[in-house]
Structures are given as C-alpha cells and as structure tokens.
Amino acid sequence: MGMAAFALVGASVVFTSFLSGIFGMAGGLVLLGILLLLLDVAPAMMLFGVTQLAANGWRAILWRRFIRWDIFRGYAAGSLVFFGLMKLVAFLPDKGFVYLGLGLMPFAVEVLPHHYRPHIERRFAPFLCGGLIMVLQLLAGAAGNVLDVFFQKSSLDRKTVVATKAATQTLAHFLRILYFGSFALIEGDLPPLWLFGACIILAFLGTSLAARVLERWHDEGFRKWSRILILSISAVYIVRGIWLLAQ
C-alpha cells in the first residue's frame, strides 16, 4: 500500500463512520468494499473489524442511555455460541464470494414476505439474531442489512435502534477480529500497527460528527434513506462479486 492508498483508507474511515453514525449501518458495507480492493481477505477483515469496533463502541458510548440491554444480552449469547461453532469450521472466504454475499443479502431480505420478517422484541429473537449475524459476518463479510430487518418492525425509535445496534455490533466486530486475526497471523499478513491506531482515531471523528445530524433528523426519513442506501450499495457489490468470480 502506497501513501495514496493509505489516504483513501483514512478518508473512507471518516466517511463510513459518519454514515453508520447516522443510519446505524451502511458504512460498514462501503468500508469493507474499499478495503477488499487494497488488501487480502484476512487483513482487510481485521482492519475493518478494528475500525468498526472503534466506531460502534464510541457510538454505543455516545447513545448509551438509549441501549436496550435485554436485547443486547440475548444477541451476545447467540453470537458467542455460533462464534464457537464457526471457529471449529475455520472457513476463510475469497473476495468474490464476500462481495457477492454483501450484495445479495439485502435483496434476499427484500423478497422475504413481511409476515415472515423477524421482530427483535419477540422472545428468543435477539438470540437468533446474534447467531445469524455472526455466521453471515464471518462468511459474507458484513450483515448490517440483515440486522436492520430485525429492527424494522419494532416499536423502537431511531436513537434506540442506533444505540442498541451499536452495542451488538461492538461485540460482533470484536469477535470478527479474533476470527480473522488468527488467519492473518498465520499468513504473516498484518497491516502496520500505526494504521490501526489512525483508523481508530478517524472512526471516533466520523462517529462524533454524525451524532449532531442524527439528533436533528426524524424517524420517517431515517428508515426511508436507510433502505435506499443499502440497496444501491448492494447492487454495485453484486456486479463486483460476479466479475471477480468470473475471473
């Protein structure tokens, strides 16, 4: 990676942290796509995990009074159980598969009948959500769009949605770092340590800037633009994934 690539990563971290700070998602999809252009899967996933851990962790701190801790506890239990199962499998996907997975998941969710869509406030739904998101994040790279489906039918307002999702994703990205970090260490393919530190600081910056925007926004616009943004990004990733697999 040259200086231009490092500058691109830094700008992407600020922008995508700002994006996620507003919508509670979407930024991760963009950032991971950029990192995969520059790095192999294991180091890209690890750098992505560290950056998103910082962004989501800081967002969870900023909005901590709105977190639904009962939902978080169920999510955490499901995540840990399925993380253990995935460690036994130890599967490392290739780039084409990751891009295709990132792109297809939102459209798969869109065709799911509304009465079959999950509801995060139902009994056992947080546990199932945590397990499903963990598997998808390790196989397809990111699953913020699927996580959002669990919250779309809930009675939670935008601040509670963003805060609770930030808490769950903080845990998810910590586990992601452990999972893909083991591959990166074995392959000797870790990014420089200073890059991790720079990305953490930039993630704090983007997240803090977004808090002011979220405070002034309304719930209707929040849900509408979340959907438009996710589907647009996903269409680009489907094309990218098909192109890579065709190679």
For the chain, give every domain's residue range. Answer: 3-246
- pLDDT tens readout for residues 19-58: 777 665 667 777 877 888 888 888 888 888 888 888 888 8
pLDDT at residue 246, as a whole number: 84
Mean pLDDT of 88-105: 75
pLDDT at residue 25, as a whole number: 61
In order, the DSSP letters of the chain are --HHHHHHHHHHHHHHHHHHHHHSSSHHHHHHHHHHHHS-HHHHHHHHHHHHHHHHHHHHHHTGGG--HHHHHHHHHHHHHHHHHHHHH-----HHHHHHHHHHHHHHHHTS-GGGS--TTSTTHHHHHHHHHHHHHHHHS--HHHHHHHHHTSS--HHHHHHHHHHHHHHHHHHHHHHHHHHHHHHT-PPPHHHHHHHHHHHHHHHHHHHHHHHH--HHHHHHHHHHHHHHHHHHHHHHHHHHHH-
pLDDT at residue 219, as a whole number: 61
pLDDT at residue 150, as a whole number: 81
- pLDDT tens readout for residues 167-215: 998 998 899 888 888 877 776 777 778 888 888 888 888 877 777 676 6
pLDDT at 74 over 80: yes
- pLDDT tens readout for residues 1-17: 667 778 888 888 888 88
Average pLDDT, the chain: 80
Residues 140/98, Cβ–Cβ less than 8 Å:
yes
CA distance 133 to 67: 19
pLDDT at residue 79, as a whole number: 93
High-pLDDT (> 70) share of the chain, %:
84
High-pLDDT (> 90) share of the chain, %:
12
pLDDT at 66 over 90: yes
Mean pLDDT of 132-154: 76
pLDDT at residue 23, as a whole number: 65
pLDDT at 91 over 80: no
Q: Does residue 151 or residue 78 have the better pLDDT?
A: 78
